[in-house]
Amino acid sequence: MEVIYEDNHIIAINKACGEIVQSDKTGDESLIDTVKAYIKKKYNKPGDVYLGSPHRLDRPTSGVVLFARTSKALTRLNAMFQDKEAIKKTYWAVVDHLPEQEEGELRHWLIKNEEKNKTYAYSKPKKDAKEAILHYKHVASLNRYHLLEIDLKTGRHHQIRVQLTKIGCHIKGDVKYGFPRTNDDGGIHLHARKVEFIHPVTKEFIKIIAQPPQNDPLWKELSQIDYLQD
């Protein structure tokens, strides 16, 4: 587990591909459990450790995950994640094809199929569909793949994965959404690169950056490109 930010109210982890944020039917250890154990040991805390989860990342996705260490922080973070302007979330996605335009906004209407755990995108409003908006730009190409930087405006189920697929750009390793083969680690090349926000308690500006998985040769090479350094 890689801790990339920590104070009395919040803690941020650079989640690895394959880790689950919260417990599910698999019974695998969740990141919440791992972080609680870390806090308990580091601060020698008796009894149960409080930890709240204001958002999630898909299991095959890597990158920044925020947790709240206090109920006050959790309440405020929950509200912030509902506000499009309160938290800026930047993702990196490695795709197999370039979009027609180097930079642009995608707006679709999404419907989740609960049984298949898959989301479908439509170009026009549809009954029970939720609007999804993101901004993308092409920032690098390497080894037949292309790196897109994505500013996520809404937070829908599998939003980036399904919206990019809708325009013919499949995320490397994402067989659920049309890429032809899996990655060796079972993850996909979608990484929550950065979050920026005003701290819910101290009111300071916070920017948290997560390095993509350095055990992956493609991610490692891409992250070493000079103009991608923060």
Within 10 angstroms of residue 203's Cβ, the number of other Cβ atoms is 8
CB 31 within 8 A of CB 161: no
Task: Say how far residue 220 (Cα) sits from the centre of its chain.
Answer: 18
- 115 pairs with which residues across the strands? none
Global pTM reads 0.93
Total number of domains constituting the chain: 1
CB 145 within 8 A of CB 70: no
Pick the closest to residue 188 from 160, 156, 228, 224 (CA basis).
160
Catalytic residue among 28, 48, 58, 174: 58
Is 58 a known active-site residue? yes
What the block records as the tokens of 218 is: 């493609």
Structural domain that includes position 59: 3-228
Q: Which amino acid is at 170?
A: H
For residue 201, give the CATH number of its domain: 3.30.2350.10
- How does pLDDT run along the chain (230 residues), one tens digit per residue? 999 999 999 999 999 999 999 877 767 789 999 999 999 999 898 889 999 999 989 999 999 999 999 999 999 999 999 887 899 999 999 999 999 999 999 999 999 999 999 999 999 999 999 999 999 999 999 889 999 999 999 989 999 999 999 999 999 999 999 999 999 888 999 999 999 999 999 999 999 999 999 899 999 888 877 656 66
Distance CA 44, CA 42 (A): 6
